């Protein structure tokens, strides 16, 4: 009886031992999988199917890049949205970034001509008062007549500007300025950095500024029909759209006003001083900017209150210029009654009143304008000069609105001409029949 009990116990022990031996390989796989989850760099390149089922991937593994293996789902921050453009003009280009690393700018990479001081002195009659065209916050502007008959404009940048004192800093800005190319923006032709001089050379625009054309005490505005004014607004809007929405990163003008809108012989607008905000004088930048903007009534409320200036501040300044085109008035005019001295404050409450709007129109147009076009123009103005910057439209929307306005004006003009032509063609027939 005792022998039988021993045999049963022995058989049970053998069964347990055999079962343990059969389970041991599976246990080693589990241990390996658990260890690999703690030390990802020890994980085999192609894990077994068993390990894939029993192990949760918590880190990104190079195995996910191999063919035939599914990439694990990894929760991460959403990718940054980027605007893909065809060769976007980089105001601060890769070369400028390289300059920061090396401390030098390769002049051969600047898409503008390097002038000598002697050449510019000869062309400007040694920067004489007779050649002085104007003066702004960054320095004086001179007319330059070269021996070959070419006429250019030379801006002599104030030596106090923060990006002027170091030659390479100035050249990095010049490199960015040379990349700003648009049909409605003045083109940088060249520069000069000799003998501590900092000079910028631009194309010469023949007709003068919009400010002169609108506010000079002459008969210049007689040639400015309503359609011409809309054309000027549209061209200026396209230039700002280019700076804000095409350039990468966006370029804020900071000094947009009618005095910086140059007109050629066909009255096409060319915006000057694009990108020159980078040369603002150090230390007193706010005071200088206030002199350039605030005293002329173009500055947005947020800039006057806190010094904040963005692309939406440019939009506000553009709205002020549109008001100048509509009314023929200056942004600030102390000669008018107190309630009318600020153009924006006086005009804004009347922009949606048809009768008041008609009284606001520049008298130089002598009432010759399409009423619907005037109303739509006023609607765009109202959007641009809103006190809250977030409610102002981007310049691309302003451009679209003005394009539609121009298209309607052209269609209306063609209809009028065809009607006039038809009525004139009917007159001879009537006279012949009566004869």
What are the tokens at 296?
């002329």
Write out the residue limits of the CATH 3.30.200.20 domain(s) in the chain.
100-204
The DSSP output letter for 139 is E
CA distance 351 to 148: 51
* pLDDT above 50 (res 49): no
Pick the CATH number of 205-281+293-416 from 3.40.50.10790, 1.10.3720.10, 1.10.510.10, 3.30.465.10: 1.10.510.10
Higher pLDDT among residues 141 and 221, named by residue:
141
Write out the residue limits of the CATH 1.10.510.10 domain(s) in the chain.
205-281+293-416
Q: What count of other Cβ atoms lies within 10 Å of the Cβ of residue 404?
A: 11
Higher pLDDT among residues 158 and 33, named by residue:
158
* pLDDT above 60 (res 388): yes
Flag whether the pTM goes above 0.85.
no
pLDDT tens readout for residues 206-242? 889 999 999 985 555 556 899 999 999 999 999 999 9
SS3 readout for 175-244 = HHHHHCCCCCECCEEEEECHHHCCEEEEECCCCCEHHHHHHCCCCHHHHCCHHHHHHHHHHHHHHHHHHH
3-state secondary structure of 37: helix
The β-bridge partners of 332 are 342
- Bridge-based pairing of strands 113-114 and 139-145 is unpaired
Which of 336, 263, 256 is CA-nearest to residue 296? 256
**153 Cβ contact list (under 8 Å, min separation 6):** 133, 141, 142, 143, 144, 201, 202, 203, 204
The β-bridge partners of 155 are 141, 200
**264 Cβ contact list (under 8 Å, min separation 6):** 205, 206, 207, 270
Supply the mean pLDDT for the chain: 77
Confidence (pLDDT) at 73: 39
Which of 25, 57, 24 is CA-nearest to residue 38? 57
Q: Which CATH class is domain 100-204?
A: alpha beta
pLDDT band for 251, please (50, 70, 90 cuts): very high
Residue owning tokens 């880190």: 59
* pLDDT above 90 (res 174): yes
Higher pLDDT among residues 374 and 68, named by residue:
374
pLDDT band for 320, please (50, 70, 90 cuts): very high
Confidence (pLDDT) at 135: 85
Confidence (pLDDT) at 93: 44
**350 Cβ contact list (under 8 Å, min separation 6):** 356, 357, 360
């Amino acid at each position: 009886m005792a022998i039988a009990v021993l045999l049963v116990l022995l058989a049970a022990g053998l069964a347990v031992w055999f079962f343990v031996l059969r389970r041991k390989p599976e246990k080693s796989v589990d241990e390996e999988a658990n260890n690999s989850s703690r030390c990802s760099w020890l994980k085999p390149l192609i894990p077994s199917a068993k390990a894939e089922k029993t192990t949760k991937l918590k880190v990104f593994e190079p195995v996910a890049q191999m063919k035939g293996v599914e990439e694990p789902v990894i929760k991460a921050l959403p990718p940054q949205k980027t605007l893909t453009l065809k060769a976007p003009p980089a105001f601060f280009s890769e070369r400028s970034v390289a300059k920061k690393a090396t401390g030098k700018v390769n002049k051969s990479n600047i898409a503008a001509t390097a002038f000598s001081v002697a050449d510019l002195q000869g062309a400007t009659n040694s920067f004489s008062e007779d050649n002085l065209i104007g003066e702004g916050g960054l320095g004086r502007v001179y007319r330059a007549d070269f021996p070959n008959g070419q006429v250019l404009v030379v801006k002599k940048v104030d030596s106090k500007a923060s990006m002027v004192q170091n030659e390479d800093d100035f050249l990095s800005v010049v490199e960015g300025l040379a990349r700003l190319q648009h049909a409605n923006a003045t083109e940088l032709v060249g520069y000069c950095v000799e003998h501590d001089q900092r000079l910028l050379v631009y194309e010469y625009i023949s007709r003068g500024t919009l400010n002169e054309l609108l506010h000079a005490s002459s008969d210049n505005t007689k040639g400015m029909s309503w359609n011409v004014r809309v054309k000027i607004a549209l061209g200026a809007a396209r230039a700002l759209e280019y700076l804000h929405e095409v350039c990468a990163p966006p370029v804020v003008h900071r000094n947009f006003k009618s005095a910086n809108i140059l007109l050629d012989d066909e009255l096409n607008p060319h915006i000057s001083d694009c990108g020159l905000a980078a040369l603002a004088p150090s230390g007193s930048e706010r005071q200088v900017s206030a002199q350039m903007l605030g005293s002329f009534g173009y500055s947005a409320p947020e800039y006057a209150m806190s010094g904040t200036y963005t692309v939406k501040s440019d939009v506000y300044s553009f709205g002020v210029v549109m008001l100048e085109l509509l009314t023929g008035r200056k942004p600030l005019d102390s000669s008018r009654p107190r309630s009318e001295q600020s153009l924006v404050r006086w005009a804004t409450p009347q922009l949606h009143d048809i009768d008041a709007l008609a009284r606001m129109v520049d008298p130089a147009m002598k009432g010759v304008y399409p009423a619907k076009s005037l109303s739509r123009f006023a609607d765009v103005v109202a959007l641009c000069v809103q006190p809250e910057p977030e409610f102002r439209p981007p310049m691309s929307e302003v451009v679209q609105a003005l394009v539609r306005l121009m298209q309607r004006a052209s269609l209306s003009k063609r209809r009028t001409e065809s009607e006039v032509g038809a009525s004139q063609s009917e007159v001879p027939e009537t006279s012949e029949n009566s004869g």
